Structure 1
């Protein structure tokens, strides 16, 4: 079994707790949930579409650091504050992936860190 390797990039927000931005093990990349925080400014938009875009940009910055792109994503999990925002989130999400799309789960949650409206995590293969 391969040892796990932490992946870190300054192009995504620094972890706000005791966890890694992503872990690579046995050719798989597992990202932590990415909040829609701009890594340069530390700010977060109030708009759900802008938050979705920033969360995905953060995810893909981590994947880039791991040496892969969106075509290697096999599963995503999208956590959202309000399921009524799903169509707006989906509109942004589909710009980041091409067919064949990754498997996906989308769940409404009571609350996200920093009161974000969206958080996204992915599993990818190297």
Structure 2
């Protein structure tokens, strides 16, 4: 195994992932780590759309922007934590997900919660990234 790159694997001893994620992401020792605050579906004017899918689209745009500010892209993402207050339209989220990640998926955790930081927020996505 290459010790100077991020690798993603799904062990044959495990059931296949039930979603678009990888069971294990290995980060080499010399990697620089980045952790974002939870990114939310807020537009550049500070407004929250009422629609969950619109918030998902804005959240991915905000993730792209926060990563780009550090010279990072989706290839650097190793872990994604998703919190939502209402059911996620997985067809829509996965269409954004696939456009963002292609087919190199990071590890992922999803949780439904009763509330997030502000009443307008329907979804929040935290990113862990590493750069070799």
Answer yes or no: same fold by TM over 0.5: yes
- The answer to which of 44-53 and 84-93 deviates more is 84-93
Q: Deviations over 1:42-69 (max 9, x none)?
A: 1011111110111111111111011111
Structure 2 unaligned segments of length 5 or more: list them: 1-30
Note the residue ranges of structure 1 that are not aligned, 5 or more in a row: 1-25
The number of aligned residues is 100
Please give the TM-score of this superposition, normalised by the length of structure 1. 0.71
Q: CA deviation at 1:119?
A: 0.5
Q: Which position in structure 2 is the counterpart of 1:118?
A: 123
TM-score by length of structure 2 reads 0.68
1:108 aligns with 2:112: yes
SS in 2 for 1:110: coil
- Structure scoring higher RCO (CA < 8 A, sep ≥ 6) equals 2
> Post-superposition shift, 1:89?
2.8
- 1:69-93 CA distances to partner (integer Å, 9 max, x unpaired)? 1111111011111235444333333
Decide which structure has the larger Cα Rg and report it.
Answer: 2
Q: Which residue of 1 aligns with 2:66?
A: 62
Superposed structure 1 runs of 4+ greater than 2 Å apart: 83-95
Residues 1:79 and 2:83 aligned together: yes
